[in-house]
Structure 1
Amino acid sequence: MADFLLPNMHTPQNAVQKRLAGPIHAERHVRVICIGAGASGLLLAYKLQRHFQNFSLTVYEKNEEVSGTWYENKYPGCACDVPAHNYTWSFEPKLDWSAVYAGSREIYDYFNGFTKKHGLDKFIKTKHQVSHAKWNDSKAGYDVQVKNLRDGSTTEDYCDILVNASGILNNWRWPAIPGLHDYKGTLLHTANWDPNIDLRGKHVGLIGNGSSGIQVLPTIQPHVEQVTTFIREPTWVSPVQGLEQHVFSAEEKEAFANKPGELLDYRKNVERGLNGQFGIFLKDTKTNTETHAYMKAQMKEKLKNDFLEQKLIPEWAVGCRRLTPGVGYLESLGKPNVNVVYGEINKVTEKGCVCDDGKEYPIDVLICATGFDTSFKPRFPVINGEGKNLQDEWALNAESYMGVAASGFPNYMIFLGPNCPIGNGPVLCAIECQADYICKLIDRYQTHNIRTFAPTKDAISDFVAHKDEFMKRSVWADPCRSWYKAGTQNPDTITALWPGSTLHYMEALAALRMEDYEVKYQGNRFAWLGNGYSQTELDDTADWAYYIREHDDGEPLSLDVRRRILNKSGTVASNVGVNFSGKDTGGDQVQSKI
C-alpha cells in the first residue's frame, strides 16, 4: 500500500499522472506550515501525527518555548478565568491542578508536558518568526519567509497548506495616552513583564480593570506601599455561582488521581455548567436576569462602598464584556493602601498620570494592564494570488468563514479567527473542533486531486449577515466598550464571537460544507478515482468481504441519529438548570433561550 502514497509533485501533469496510476483516495504528500506553538498549534501537531501519514509539518514559534500566551504572560497573579480541570484537552486530563483557577505557570507546565509526552518537539522550531507569506501559483502553495531570531538570518520555506495558529491575545500594545514614554519611572506592561522588578515599598500605578488588571491588583496589594489604580469604566467582576475559587485539598487530589470516575464526573459537571451558561448572553432570559441580580449582589457585598458601587457596577448586561471571576479584586479596592481614581487619564508626565479631575498622581512604577491588538489582522503580510494582503482586507472589518478561513486566500486556515466561540462558553473544546475541521479539509485535499480550496465570498457574506442579525438578540450588542467589537467601522459589529453557544459551534463544524468553498482541481476532478483499485484490495491484511454480515451494524445515515449516539442522548436525567455540582437550579428551558 505504501507504494501508492503519492509524493508532492508540483508539476500538475506529473501529479495527475501519478494519481491516475494509484488506487482510489491515494494519499499524496502534503506539506503543512503552522504559525505558533501555543495551544492551537500544539493540538494541530498532535492531530496530524495521530491521524495522518505521508505529511510533513513545521510549526514556527517566535518564543524560546512552546505554550504561547501561557509562556509569555508572567505578571503577578496571571491565571486563567476558566476552571483549570476544564482548561485541558477533552482527552488529556491533568490530575493535580492546585485550584479551580490555576496560575499561568501551571498552565504552561500542562501544555509543555503535553508537547513532551506526545513527542511534538520534532515538528517545532522555536525562536523562528514567520515574517511573510505569499501565494505561489505555479506550485499552488505558499512561499513563506522565516526569520531566525537567534542569529537574525531569514530563510525561505514552502507549504501546500498554511495554518495560522498565532492566536488572539498575544500582540500586546501600549495604551494610546499622550506622554506615556516621557514617564521617568519604571514602565511595565503586563504582557511584557520584567520578572526582576521588585515592587516592595513602591507606589504603583495600575492602568486598566480588564482581566489582567483584575488579577494584578490583589496579588501586588499586600506587598507595595500604595497602589493608585486608574479605572475608566465599570465591569462585571464575580465568579459565576458555583465556580468560586477553591484550593483543592490533598484528599481531593488523591480522589481525582485514584478513585475511578471521580475526576471525570467532576469535569463533566463543570463542563455541563459552563455549557449551560449560554442563556446569560441572550437578552431577557431567566438565566441572564438571575445572573445579573446575583453578580450585582456579590459586587455590592465585596465593595461595601457607595462610591465604588456607583462607578464600578455596570448598567449594561452581564456578559457584554468578557466575564472574569476576579478573585480578591473587589475586596482589594477597599484596602487602606489602594486609591481608586475613576475617569480618563489625559496624559502621562515624567512623574505620573494627569487625569480628567485635573490632578497629577505621582507614582514610582506604572503598570499598563491594557491588553492586546484584537483586530484579527495577521501579524505578517499574507499575500494571495491577486496581490491582496489579508492585513489590508481585514484592516477595517475582519470577516471569516466560521472563524477558520478567509475568502480569496486559498489553502489558508485559521485557529480562533473572527466570529469563533472565544467567549461563548468552554474554549478548548472549540479549538479541538477547529483542529478536527482543519484535519478533515487536509484529508480531503490529500486524498483528492484538489489544487486549491477557499470559502466563497457569497458564503462569507451570508454567514456575516446571519451573524449580525443574531447579535441583535445578544447582550454583546449592549453599549459597553469591549474587545469583542474591535477592528470594525461600526462599533456595534461583533467581530470576535460566534452567533451561538460553543456546543452549537461544535455541531456546525462537525461536517465539511464543500458547497461553501471554491475548489479547483489538478486535471480532471475525478482523477482521484485512480487506476480502478480500492484501497482495501491493496491491503493483504484487510477483510475483502467486510460488508457481508449477519445483521445491520452499519453507521447511522441520518445526522440526527449520529448526533444522539455521539452525545449519549438519554443517559442524563436532565440538563435543565444544572449547576456545577450537577444539581438542578431551575434555570431556563432550552426553548426559552431561542
Structure 2
Amino acid sequence: MADFVIGTNTSPDAHAERRLDGPIHAERHMNIICVGAGASGLLMAYKLQKHFKNYTLAVYEKNPEVSGTWFENRYPGCACDVPSHNYTWSFEPKLDWSGVYASSKEIYAYFEAFTKKYHLKDYIKTEHQVVGAYWDNATSGYDVKIKDIKAGTEISHHCDILINASGILNNWRWPAIPGLDKYKGTLLHTANWDDSVDLSGKHVGLIGNGSSGIQVLPKIQPITSKVTTFIREPTWVSPVQGLEQHIYSEQEKREFANKPGVLTEYRKGIERGLNGQFGIFLRDTKPNNDTHDYMMAQMKEKLQNQYLEERLIPKWSVGCRRLTPGVGYLESLGKDNVEVVYGEINAVTEKGCLCDNGKEYPVDVLICATGFDTTFKPRFPLIGPNGQNLQDQWKEEAQSYLGMAADGFPNYLIFLGPNSPIGNGPVLSAIEAQADYMCKLIDRYQTRNIRTFSPKKAAITDFIAHKDRFMTKSVWADPCRSWYKNRPDGPITALWPGSTLHYIEALLELQIEDWAVEYSGNRFAWLGNGYSQTELDPTADWGYYIREVDDDRPLSTGGKRKLISKSGTMSSNVGIDFSGKKAAEKEQTPRKEERAYL
C-alpha cells in the first residue's frame, strides 16, 4: 500500500488542514526549481530522484548542454587541478581517466554520462536562463522568470523551494583594461573560447597567470611563432609532492576496471592525502613550511632564471592564492619563443598592450585568461519578502549560513555559496555534504506543515564572527590578490574556516535551532490523525522495534563519527593535532598517494 501523501494545488493553510486527515509525516507535494545543470545541479536532481517522491523538479540551464563550467571551458589545456579519480562523486567512480589531471572534455563526458545513466534530463530544460525570482507571500514561494533563449520569450514558473546551483566559476568577464574594444586583432577569452581560431604561427598575447593562463601557455607555446605573456603578480606554481601528472597505462586501467578494490583503495589514498593538506593553510605549521620549501625548490629548478625567480616566486605564504599544479608552465616561460612582460597593462591599443614600462607590445591574437565574477551575488535579481534584492545585500560582502543560505530569503538554498570549502580540499565531497544537508531540510519541510524556513540572522552573524576570527590564523589572510576575497586586505568570503573533512562533519546533523521556521496552522498539525505511516502499510513489520540484541546505531555525535569514519581500521595516516602545529607519523609509512601535502 502506498504511503499517504498530500496533493498539490492547495494553499499553505489548506496543507495544514489536510494533514489532519492523514498519518504522521504525510508527504506534501513540493514544486522545486534548481538553477543550473552543472555538477551541483545534477547531483541535486539525482538525490531528489533517489530519496523523494511527491515532488516536481525543473532544472533550468542556460547552456545547450549539461556540465556547467566543464561544457563552457574548452580552451587549450583546460583541465581540473584536482586528481581526476577524485573529481567524481564518491559513489560513482570512472574507470578510464587518461591521467591524474584530466582535460575539461573528459570531465564533461563524465557528467554527461552521469546524466544519461540516471535519466536526469527528464528534469532539465537547456537553453533556459533564470532571469529573476520574486517572493510571493500569499503562496510562500517564488515566482521565477525564465528566458527561453532559443525562442526569445520569457516564461514564469512558481516553486515552493528555489535552489541556486549556478556555481561561481561560470560568469566570465573581460578584464577592466581601457581600450579593450579598440583592439583590431583577434580577441579571445579562455571561458568563451572560439575553436575556429587557429593559433599556428601567430604572435599571441596572453593576459593572466591564474589557473587558466597557467594551463593555456604550455599548450599554445609549441604551435605559435611567439607568445608574449603579461604577468602582474607572482603565484605559487607546482604539482604537489606525490600528485605529479601521470598518464595511466592500459594495464593500470584494466586493473582499475577488473580487480576488485584496486581503484577504491587508490581513490581513498588520494583522498586521504587531499584531506591531510589542511595544515598547509595554517601559518607557521610544519606542513606549511615543508610545502613552502618544496615548492620554492621546484620553481627555482624549473625556471632557471633569476629575473623570473625574483618576480614570480611570491613573498606571501603558500596557499594564499589557490595552488596550481601548472604542468609544464614554468618550463614554457623559459622557451625561446616566450617573452615575459611583468607589470601592469595600462591600456590595450589597436595593435596590442601598452604596459607600465612605456612599451607597446603588438600581437596578432590577444587571449584574456582573466577569470570570472566571483562576488557570489546571484546572476539574477532575487527579491525576498521585504523587497530586498540579494544582489544588493551581498554587494559589499557576501555573508551566508554555512555556505548554503542567506538571511531574509526563505526557502532558498545555495550550492557553493560564500565560505564553502572550495579551496580547502576535494570540492565534490563538499558538494555532496551540502546536497545531503539540503535533503534533510527539504524532508523536514515536506513532512511537517512548514510554510517557510530561513537561517536566523543571529546565526549568520555568529558564524561570520567565528569565520573572521579563524581566518587570522590562516595563510589566506596574507596580502595577496585572490578571488578568495574582494581585496588583498579584505575579509575572506570564499573559504570555509576549516578542512573539507571538518565541513563534512559540521553538516552531518541538521542544526534546526539556527533556522527560523514558520508553520501553516498549528505547528503540530503534522501529527495528523493519530496513525503512523507504518500502520497503513500492510507489508511492514508493525513490531519492528522488538529485537534479540541492541543493534542500534550510535546516538552520540562521537559515536556516529567513529562509525562512518571506520575509526580503528587505519594504521597508515599521518596525524596532525587540532592546532595543526605537530605531525606524528604512525607505525607504517604512507603510500605515495597518501603523502600528498603531508
Matching of residue 168 in structure 1 with residue 168 in structure 2:
yes
Contact conserved, 1:579 with 1:585, CA < 8 A, in 2? no
Q: In the TM superposition, what are the counterparts of 1:66-85 in structure 2 within 5 Å?
A: 66-85=66-85
Q: Show CA shifts across 1:189-227 (max 9, x none).
A: 000000100000100000000000000000000000000
Match of 2:44, as an amino acid?
L
Matching of residue 301 in structure 1 with residue 306 in structure 2:
no
Equivalent in the alignment of 2:520: 522
Q: Show CA shifts across 1:481-507 (max 9, x none).
A: 000002x7x833000000000000000
C-alpha displacement of 1:574: 3.7
Equivalent in the alignment of 2:266: 266
Equivalent in the alignment of 2:502: 504
Q: Show CA shifts across 1:530-572 (max 9, x none).
A: 0000011011110001111111111211111111010000000
Q: CA 1:209–1:580 in structure 2 vs 1: closer, same or farther (change >3 Å)?
A: farther
Provide the secondary structure at the position in 1 that maps to 2:213.
helix
Structure 2-normalised TM-score?
A: 0.96
Match of 2:264, as an amino acid?
L
Equivalent in the alignment of 1:592: none
Question: Structure 2: how far apart are the matches of 1:542 and 1:308?
Answer: 71
C-alpha displacement of 1:11: 2.2
Contact conserved, 1:270 with 1:580, CA < 8 A, in 2? no
Matching of residue 411 in structure 1 with residue 411 in structure 2:
yes
Equivalent in the alignment of 1:581: 592
Name which of structure 1's ranges 504-513 and 551-560 shifts more when overlaid on structure 2: 551-560
Matching of residue 562 in structure 1 with residue 573 in structure 2:
no
C-alpha displacement of 1:586: 11
Q: Show CA shifts across 1:338-390 (max 9, x none).
A: 00000000101000101011000000000000000000000000000110000
Equivalent in the alignment of 2:355: 355
CA RMSD of aligned residues (A): 1.2
Contact conserved, 1:243 with 1:580, CA < 8 A, in 2? no
Question: Structure 2: how far apart are the matches of 1:119 and 1:441?
Answer: 24
**Structure 1 spans left out of the alignment, 5+ residues:** 588-594
C-alpha displacement of 1:306: 0.5
Matching of residue 339 in structure 1 with residue 350 in structure 2:
no
Provide the secondary structure at the position in 1 that maps to 2:484.
helix
C-alpha displacement of 1:18: 0.7
Question: Structure 2: how far apart are the matches of 1:108 and 1:464?
Answer: 35
Provide the secondary structure at the position in 2 that maps to 1:413.
strand
Question: Structure 1: how far apart are the matches of 2:105 and 2:414?
Answer: 26
Match of 1:538, as an amino acid?
L
Match of 1:527, as an amino acid?
A
Q: In the TM superposition, what are the counterparts of 1:180-191 in structure 2 within 5 Å?
A: 180-191=180-191
Match of 1:378, as an amino acid?
P
Aligned residues: 585
Provide the secondary structure at the position in 2 that maps to 1:146.
strand
Question: Structure 2: how far apart are the matches of 1:583 and 1:371?
Answer: 31
Equivalent in the alignment of 1:591: none
Equivalent in the alignment of 2:429: 429
Equivalent in the alignment of 1:472: 472
Question: Structure 1: how far apart are the matches of 2:72 and 2:596?
Answer: 39
C-alpha displacement of 1:137: 0.6
Match of 2:510, as an amino acid?
L
Equivalent in the alignment of 1:218: 218
Provide the secondary structure at the position in 1 that maps to 2:354.
strand
Question: Structure 2: how far apart are the matches of 1:273 and 1:150?
Answer: 45
C-alpha displacement of 1:8: 2.9
Equivalent in the alignment of 1:380: 380
State percent identity of aligned pairs: 71
Provide the secondary structure at the position in 2 that maps to 1:519.
strand
Match of 1:482, as an amino acid?
S
Provide the secondary structure at the position in 1 that maps to 2:129.
strand
Q: In the TM superposition, what are the counterparts of 1:218-237 in structure 2 within 5 Å?
A: 218-237=218-237
Contact conserved, 1:272 with 1:580, CA < 8 A, in 2? no
Q: Show CA shifts across 1:152-202 (max 9, x none).
A: 010110100000000000000100101011000000000000010000010
Provide the secondary structure at the position in 2 that maps to 1:222.
coil
Q: Show CA shifts across 1:10-56 (max 9, x none).
A: 42332112111010000000110000000000000000000001111
Question: Structure 2: how far apart are the matches of 1:174 and 1:557?
Answer: 53
Q: Show CA shifts across 1:70-120 (max 9, x none).
A: 000000000000000000000000000000000000000000000000000
Contact conserved, 1:242 with 1:579, CA < 8 A, in 2? no
Equivalent in the alignment of 2:540: 542
Match of 2:478, as an amino acid?
D
Contact conserved, 1:242 with 1:580, CA < 8 A, in 2? no
Q: CA 1:137–1:393 in structure 2 vs 1: closer, same or farther (change >3 Å)?
A: same
Matching of residue 139 in structure 1 with residue 150 in structure 2:
no
Contact conserved, 1:9 with 1:15, CA < 8 A, in 2? no
Question: Structure 2: how far apart are the matches of 1:8 and 1:438?
Answer: 21
Provide the secondary structure at the position in 2 that maps to 1:302.
helix
C-alpha displacement of 1:150: 0.4
Question: Structure 2: how far apart are the matches of 1:3 and 1:211?
Answer: 51
Question: Structure 2: how far apart are the matches of 1:117 and 1:103?
Answer: 21
Question: Structure 2: how far apart are the matches of 1:10 and 1:494?
Answer: 43
Question: Structure 2: how far apart are the matches of 1:352 and 1:338?
Answer: 16
Q: Show CA shifts across 1:268-305 (max 9, x none).
A: 00000000000000000000000000000000000000
